[in-house]
Amino acid sequence: MLIIPAIDIKDGKCVRLTRGNFDKKKIYLDNPCDMAIIWRKQNAKMIHVVDLDAALTGEPVNFAKIQEIVSTLDIPVQVGGGIRSVEAVVQYLDIGVSRVVIGSAAVTNPELVETLLKRYSASQIVVGIDADNGIPKIKGWTESCSMKDYELALDMKKLGVKRIIYTDISCDGMMQGIGLESTKRFAEKAGMRVTASGGVTGSEDLRKLKALEKYGVDSVIIGKALYEANFPCQKLWYNYEKGMGIDHNFSSALRKECCS
């Protein structure tokens, strides 16, 4: 299963939210590209980037930051957040973004998805469905839809979409475990390639997700669990720094271990 580190950008900084709440924001690094370099040093094969400001405004507020990440890394970068026009998609693909994630526009303007898939391959255009109790949320998770998550997926499937990035909002950023049953239910009903997202807390969640591969779940986006060093190798680094009496914050500790 492909593990994809997430980089969320708000006000130009690398942050994590809790259940998409912009009032519950934690800043990890001032420069998101530095974070991308750290994850690459940890052998990431792909990076997932979200422009949180754009998710609210529909404008590519952090475009320059994303361009810096894409031009610096030697691995694919997929980007989401406020992408609601053909022009926005072209802008991202032109700078080397590998995949563009269509979220709110899949609900409000499905014709956009249809148009994009006539112009680009299904490997370049994926749809993100962020659901709370099975109901998709859009526009930075501030509005609900009138359909079920799997119904939206099936509509997208008819248009030629091959992959869905599925986020269980109730679990996102909570550090209480992946929404295994909701993800399984969605994947079974959708019958598509699924990238799981939201709630991964540690290695046990990855073992549980492995069982969903037969339903099409072949990858997972991980955010806060990586940032909080919830995986064994990261804990080793943290414990080493602490044992040496070093004043270790997230950026200095991981940067020292990963970038040396």
| Catalytic site positions | 8, 130
Give the contacts of 88 (CB within 8 A, at least 6 positions apart): 60, 82
Under a CB-based contact definition with an 8 Å cutoff, are residues 248 and 242 in contact? yes
Under a CB-based contact definition with an 8 Å cutoff, are residues 151 and 129 in contact? no
Nearest Cα residue to 167 out of 117, 132, 143, 191: 132
Give the contacts of 95 (CB within 8 A, at least 6 positions apart): 66, 67, 70, 71
**Pairing state between β 163-168 and 13-18:** unpaired
